[in-house]
Each structure stands twice: as structure tokens, then as C-alpha cells.
Structure 1
Amino acid sequence: MKNKIRITTDAQEREKAFAIRRKVFIEEQHVPEELEIDEYDQQPTTRHVLLVNQDEQAIGTARFRPYKDGMLKVERVAILKEQRGTGAGRRIMEAIETEARKSGYQGMKLGAQLHARKFYERLGFQAQGEIYLDAGIEHVDMVKKIEVGQG
């Protein structure tokens, strides 16, 4: 049985997402917890994505929420270290794009850590603007337009 994607607003599922984010962002990348877990996590329009393995263990996560100008904002994409390079990130991003299409969004926006820029470019995102620091880590904003009738 292969990995499954779950998109949720459920509090228990959100805690599983937080556990992955704590490992990746707080423990590995030393992002302060007060910056990592923020007010958007609790908003009713924010949805969380969990990628779970055949044993129902969460191995990857992201969150997304409505943004301005018909865009969907993708944030907090995190994959457990031992699962990186397996296609887990791609599966999560494809699931979010499917949801964006179904909901009629015109595009998706995210702030990519610089080391992940090529990953997002392979998924059709384009960098916009200057490199900036977020939680002490270099980022660049990236966008992907969603064409009507695609998918």
C-alpha cells in the first residue's frame, strides 16, 4: 500500500503536522517556535496537508490558505529527513494544486527557502523579487499561475 494524502482542518491531524514542522524547522533549521507556529495555523480557512505512510505515520506536511488576488498561499512544506528525495514533496504540492484548481484559484504563491528553489521550479513555479531573510534563512517568493481548464 502506498502513501496517502490527507487534507484537513482537524485539530488531531494538525498536531501531526506540527510534529513534523517542529522536527524540520525548529530542530533541524533552528527556527524559533514562536515564528514557526503562528496565528495562521488556527484560522478556519487554513488547511493542512498530511502525507502518511502505509503505517499511518505522518511523513510530510504543508499548509495552504486563501491569499490576495485569487491566489492560494502555500506555507510550511516539510518532509521528514529520511523521506526526502522520495517524491513526498511533489505529492504534497500536487495535492495542493489539485485543491487550488477545484476551488477556482488563479495561482499559488510561496516563499521558498533558497535551497528548495529548483524543486519548486521543476513544479512550474517562477521566482519573483529579491532574496530576503525569513527566520534567518534566505528565501525567494515564487508563484505559479493556474490556467483555467487545466487539470
Structure 2
Amino acid sequence: MEIKQTDQLDTIYQDARTIRHHVFVEEQGIDESDEFDGTDSDAIHFVAYVDGTPVATARTTVTEAGIHIQRVATEKAYRNQGYAKQLLAYLLASPMFQDAPMFYLGAQKTAIGFYQRLGFEQYGEPFTEVGIPHVNMRKVVVKQN
């Protein structure tokens, strides 16, 4: 598996957008205007490729609180093969985020276990976004001395 990243609206971004369209718009029925809300140009996009095929994606934004992970998605034919896990492990270990105090995200309730296995914990109250139940999750970074 190869992972590529971009902060431009280039071909890697277009691959991320295609995955997100398949998963969020077509499969989950999220309105396209909600999924593509005009904030993609503010994010770094990560795409996992298997034999040149884009299979999983995530995006990040840097905030005062830490690194906000969003839009984690895997193409249906490639699920349960560890690609999203490898992509997030890469992201969590990325030198570009070495000074981040934490990583955080809004997880769909069906994905809570996935994120817990990566070391994330729930916090705050559950909420609904685009008609889908979510919970806030975070992974605090412990600095090694």
C-alpha cells in the first residue's frame, strides 16, 4: 500500500473526492453540498493506494486544539482489509504532526470500535450530523522525554 498526501486540489485530492462521493454521498445518502462544504482547500488530504487504485482517504486540519481528522472513508470493495487502519497509523505518526497535543474527530457511532482500537477515547455528548449519530473522540499525544 502507498500513501500520498496533498494540500492542493490536485489529482490526489480528486481521488479522495471520488472515494468520499462513493461512500458518503452514494452509500450513506449525505447531500453532496454537505459533504463538499467548501472547506477542502483548508485541509491536507491523504489517500491510500493499492496497486495504483485509490482505496481509502482521510483529511486533516490543524487547529488550536490539535489535529482534526475528518472524512475517513474506504471504498466498499476494500473494507475490512486494514487499509484505513494503516492510513490513520501513518497519519498519527507523521512528522508533520509531531508537535500536536492531540488528534480528534467526530466518529459515526458505527465506527467507534475502529477508532478505539487505534487508541481514541470518547468524550462529550453524542450528537447528530447530517442525520447520522456521532460521538467525539480524541487521542491525546504523550510526549516522550
Give the TM-score band, short-chain normalised: over 0.9
Match of 2:129 in 1: 134
Match of 1:58 in 2: 54
Answering whether residue 44 of structure 2 is matched by residue 47 of structure 1, we say yes
Identity %: 30
User: What is the DSSP-based 3-state SS (H/G/I as helix, E as strand, rest coil) of the residue aligned with 1:42?
Assistant: helix
- Maintained 8 Å contact 1:101/1:146: no
Report Cα offsets for 1:23-54 as digits up to 9, x if no partner: 000000000011101222012xx100000011
For 1:90-109, list aligned pairs within 5 A.
90-99=85-94, 102-109=97-104
Answering whether residue 69 of structure 2 is matched by residue 74 of structure 1, we say yes
The aligned amino acid for 2:28 is: Q
Superposition deviation, residue 72 in structure 1 = 0.2
- Maintained 8 Å contact 1:60/1:88: yes
Match of 1:88 in 2: 83
User: What is the DSSP-based 3-state SS (H/G/I as helix, E as strand, rest coil) of the residue aligned with 1:15?
Assistant: helix
Superposition deviation, residue 67 in structure 1 = 1.7
Question: Paired residues, what number?
Answer: 144
Superposition deviation, residue 99 in structure 1 = 2.0
What TM-score do the two structures reach when normalised by structure 1?
A: 0.90
Q: Distance in 2 between matches of 1:116 and 1:13?
A: 25
Match of 2:14 in 1: 15
Unmatched runs of 5 consecutive residues or more in structure 1: none
Superposition deviation, residue 102 in structure 1 = 4.4
Provide closer, same or farther for how the CA distance between residues 119 and 100 of structure 1 changes in structure 2, counting only shifts above 3 A: farther
Q: Distance in 2 between matches of 1:13 and 1:31?
A: 22
